[in-house]
Amino acid sequence: MNLLDLKGIQKSFYGVRVLHSVNFSLRAGTVHALMGENGAGKSTLMKVIAGIYKQDSGTISVSGKEVEINSPSEAQEHGVAMIHQELTPVREMSVAENIYLGREPGRMGFIDYNKLYGQTEELLEKLNIHINPRVKMKNLRVADQQMVEIAKAISQNSRIYIMDEPTSAITDREVENLFQMIRSMKAQGTGIIYISHKMDEITQIADEVSVLRDGYNINTWKMEAVDTGTLIHSMVGREMTAQFPKREANIGDVTLEVKNLTRSGEYENISFKLHKGEVLGFAGLVGSGRTELMRSLFGLARPDSGEIILNGKKIIFKRPQDAINNGLAFVTESRKDEGLFLPMSVHHNASITCLKQFTRTGLLQNRKEDAAVEKQVRSLQVKAASLRQPVKSLSGGNQQKVVLSKWLMTEPKIIIFDEPTRGIDVGAKLEIYKIMYDYAAAGNAIIMVTSEMPEAIGIADRIIVLSNHKYSGELKREEYSQEAIARLQFLHMSGNTLNDGGTKDE
């Protein structure tokens, strides 16, 4: 008997059907991977199981018994827990309060905080997660917030777990820790639905794999009976001839120079140059200082010392608007928290950065705004039923395209991408890479922070590596290898030294 059976699940939004009579089964003690491009319907299907959405038709059965799931609480009653792709922490509350929200120990309406923190410490220790249960969520990096979300789901002692891109923001070490948890859960008869775009993870952890495309079932295989090429072809409906597009880079003059930039506790004595027409990659372990450095370049945090020189002129960005006015844009790693206004429409999110372009004598020229937004959004092939559709209802990949649309509307000369393809499928990744290359080919410049070494190697013209908040080294294309990057990532963590503020510029 299966733990879970879905039969004929259909769901529509705004008159557009996103699930077409989908069938799916999950066996006890197995990991069933669910794959598909962004917009294929994976997250929608999972939210139906988790009680966030109600299916228009079709049935759900748990352990052979047909059930109605009308809310997340009802899903929990039926033994379903979900780790969401988009993190939803209560930022002003502690780690412990987030994990046991609505399930806090106590009596007569009063929370027993000693017991709360004690049982959270025990849980985190059991899961090998090294996070202070008393710290507020807002003070955690995205990777740690992801681990808290995982701990929250596991604390529910459910029989069915849905993991939607659980490794999108965590390190390789944390991924292996998660996989150990999954193996232990399987041994106890738990069933896990695992959504990921990372092929190496799927082949490593899954027992079965199913593919959705445009809301339809394509096929289900035993993991040992299918190869990567078949899966990719099934997802995209076309041959993927290359994971990374090829191009001949036309590198121009220096447009941005950073000299000995330092912010205490975040990054130390960093120097580099960025050229027109270039994609400059930044690699390093999560917490190495990459994101903090980028936030300073965009005026979100003032450096303690050092210089930023833009087109030969020393500048100080006191706020992001200063950076925007000088031709910079920043696609942050957390599109939900910092990139989008989720309740607002695709249209309003795309135009929010450049309303002045469409204003005359204090009045907004709606037709001009509508035409510009539609041209930009359509050029990036955002899948939406309407530009008036709330952006929160889009898939993660299409949300990322809206973020990019927003910044391209400002006509920037430099775009900083922090984890540009986090949680995005192989087909959408290729589209993003081509957009980046077209942008650079027009004489603009890109800084790309990525935790995926194949992405850094496949896309960047040069790679700078940070280690423990310090400059660790630079690699040119002919020097690229995952081993070379890994060596530099651990350089300052192993007691070795290198010229921390060194810059190689050809």
Nearest to 426 by CA among 458, 394, 448: 458
Nearest to 219 by CA among 227, 208, 211, 230: 211
The answer to whether 415 and 444 are in contact (CB under 8 A) is: yes
Indicate if 74 and 162 belong to the same structural domain. yes
- On whether residue 370 sits in a domain, the answer given is yes
- On whether residue 243 sits in a domain, the answer given is no
Nearest to 51 by CA among 184, 158, 146: 158
Q: Nearest 5°: CA angle at 123, between 119 and 129? A: 135
User: What sign results for the dihedral spanned by CA atoms 315, 317, 323, 325?
Assistant: negative
Q: In what order do the strands lie in the sheet with 16-26?
A: 16-26, 4-13, 57-62, 65-67
Query: Which runs of consecutive H residues, i.e. helices, occur in 276-395?
Result: 290-297, 320-325, 346-351, 366-379
Query: Of 363, 385, 411, which residue sits at a domain end?
Result: 411
Token pair listed for 283: 């690699």
d(CA 280, CA 464): 8
pLDDT at position 380:
85
Cβ count near 457 (within 10 Å): 20
d(CA 290, CA 418): 9
Indicate if 293 and 378 belong to the same structural domain. no
Cα 417 off chain centre by? 12
Indicate if 140 and 271 belong to the same structural domain. no
d(CA 488, CA 506): 20
pLDDT at position 25:
97
Indicate if 382 and 483 belong to the same structural domain. no
Phi, psi dihedral angles at 236 (to 5 degrees) = -100, -15
Indicate if 390 and 426 belong to the same structural domain. no
d(CA 425, CA 412): 26
Total domains in the chain come to 3
H or E segment to which residue 412 belongs: none
Point out which residues pair with 449 in neighbouring strands: 282, 418
- On whether residue 505 sits in a domain, the answer given is yes
Indicate if 265 and 343 belong to the same structural domain. no
CA distances in angstroms from 445 to 66, 189, 237, 256, 333, listed in the order given: 55, 51, 33, 9, 19
Q: Nearest 5°: CA angle at 428, between 427 and 429? A: 90
Domain that holds residue 360: 337-411
- On whether residue 277 sits in a domain, the answer given is yes
Indicate if 69 and 209 belong to the same structural domain. yes
- On whether residue 283 sits in a domain, the answer given is yes
pLDDT at position 239:
57
Amino acid letter, 421? T
For 58-92, the DSSP string reads EEEEETTEEE---SHHHHHHTTEEEE-SS----TT
Residue numbers in the chain where pLDDT is lower than 70? 38, 238-242, 423, 492-506
pLDDT at position 428:
76
Indicate if 90 and 226 belong to the same structural domain. yes
Phi, psi dihedral angles at 288 (to 5 degrees) = -80, -10
Does this model's pTM top 0.85? Answer: no
Indicate if 429 and 367 belong to the same structural domain. no
Q: For 264-305, how does the pLDDT look when each residue is reduced to its tens digit (9 = 90+)? A: 989 999 999 999 999 999 998 777 899 999 999 999 999 999
Token pair listed for 56: 């228009």
Indicate if 220 and 157 belong to the same structural domain. yes
Please report, for the domain that includes residue 472, its CATH number: 3.40.50.300
Phi, psi dihedral angles at 9 (to 5 degrees) = -70, 125
d(CA 299, CA 237): 43
- On whether residue 477 sits in a domain, the answer given is yes
Nearest to 323 by CA among 301, 338, 349: 301
d(CA 487, CA 127): 28
Query: Of 352, 376, 411, which residue sits at a domain end?
Result: 411
Indicate if 76 and 120 belong to the same structural domain. yes
Nearest to 284 by CA among 146, 130, 476, 487: 487
pLDDT at position 230:
87
Indicate if 401 and 492 belong to the same structural domain. no
Query: Of 190, 206, 236, which residue sits at a domain end?
Result: 236
- On whether residue 241 sits in a domain, the answer given is no
pLDDT at position 451:
83
pLDDT at position 504:
38
- On whether residue 247 sits in a domain, the answer given is no
